Amino acid sequence: MSTKDFSHRDRIFAEKESLFFLVFLILLINTCFGTDSRRNWCTLYGDAPPPSIDTLIAARYDVAISGHVSTVNTVKRLNPRMKWMFYNSVSDNYISGPNLLEHQFLIYECQARGADPESLYYHYWDDTVIKLQGQQIFIPGWGGGSAPDESAARVPVYYADLSRRAVNLNNQFTRQLEKEYNLEKFKTLPEGSQVGYYDGIFLDNSTHRFYNYGSVLSGGRIAEHPTHAKVTEEEFQSWYWGGLKRFLQELKDTLAYSPTWSPDGKRKFSCINICRSWLDEYATDEVADMLLMEFQYSPVKNAESMNTLKEAYRRDSLSAANGVCQLYSPSVVAELSGYDGEYTWGEALLGNLAYFYISRSDSSYLYIDFNFSYSPSYPGWDTLTWHECMDYALGEAVENRYRIIKSGVDKRGYEYEVYSRWYRRALVLCRPRGRWNEDFDESTRIPVDLPANFRALLPNGNLGPLSSRIHLRNGEAAILIPAAFGSYVEGEVWGSWTEEGSPYNVIGEVRVPPESTLVIEPGVKVNFQGHYKFIVDSSATLLAVGTDSSSIHFTTSDTATGWHGIRFLSAASDSRISHCRLEYGKAAGTGEDAKGGAIYCFCSNPTISDNTLSGNSAYLGGGGIHCEYSSPTISNNTIRDNNSTVAGGGGISCWESGPTISGNTISSNSAGSYGGGIHCGSNSNPTIIGSTIAENSADDKAGGI
Q: Is residue 553 part of a domain?
A: yes
CB 655 within 8 A of CB 675: no
Question: Sorting pLDDT into bands at 50, 70 and 90, what band is 372?
Answer: low
pTM beyond cutoff 0.75: no
Whether 501 and 541 share a structural domain: yes
**Angle, in degrees to the nearest 10, between helices 172-187 and 101-112:** 120
Q: What is the 3-state secondary structure (H, E, C) of 148-196?
A: CCHHHHECECCCCCCCEEEECCCCHHHHHHHHHHHHHHHHCCCCCCCCC
309-343 pLDDT, tens digit each: 999 999 999 999 999 999 999 989 999 999 999 99
Give Cα 468 distance to the centre of its chain.
28
Whether 455 and 525 share a structural domain: no
Q: What is the mean pLDDT of the chain?
A: 91
Whether 420 and 551 share a structural domain: no
CB 120 within 8 A of CB 171: yes
Cα angle: 151, vertex 157, 160; to 5 degrees: 90
Give the residue from 455, 484, 513 where a domain finishes: 484
Q: Is residue 15 part of a domain?
A: yes
Whether 422 and 406 share a structural domain: yes
Give the residue from 427, 450, 484 where a domain finishes: 484
Share of the chain above pLDDT 70, in %: 94
CB 600 within 8 A of CB 578: no
- Alpha-carbon dihedral angle through residues 219, 220, 222, 226, given to the nearest 10 degrees: -70
Whether pLDDT at 507 is above 90: no
Whether 496 and 445 share a structural domain: no
Whether pLDDT at 373 is above 80: no
Whether 665 and 519 share a structural domain: yes
Say how far apart CA 565 and CA 559 lie, in whole Å. Answer: 13
Cα angle: 140, vertex 145, 149; to 5 degrees: 60
Domain count, the chain: 2
Say how far apart CA 670 and CA 665 lie, in whole Å. Answer: 14
Residue 451: burial class (beta carbons within 10 Å; 0-12, 13-18, 19+): buried
Q: Is residue 136 part of a domain?
A: no
Whether 606 and 478 share a structural domain: no
- The torsion angles phi and psi of 512, rounded to 5 degrees, stand at -85, 110
Instruction: Tell me what pLDDT residue 623 has.
Output: 95
Say how far apart CA 505 and CA 502 lie, in whole Å. Answer: 8
Q: Is residue 579 part of a domain?
A: yes
Choose the weakest-confidence range: 13-22, 361-370, 379-388, 528-537.
13-22
Whether pLDDT at 653 is above 70: yes
Residue 507: burial class (beta carbons within 10 Å; 0-12, 13-18, 19+): buried
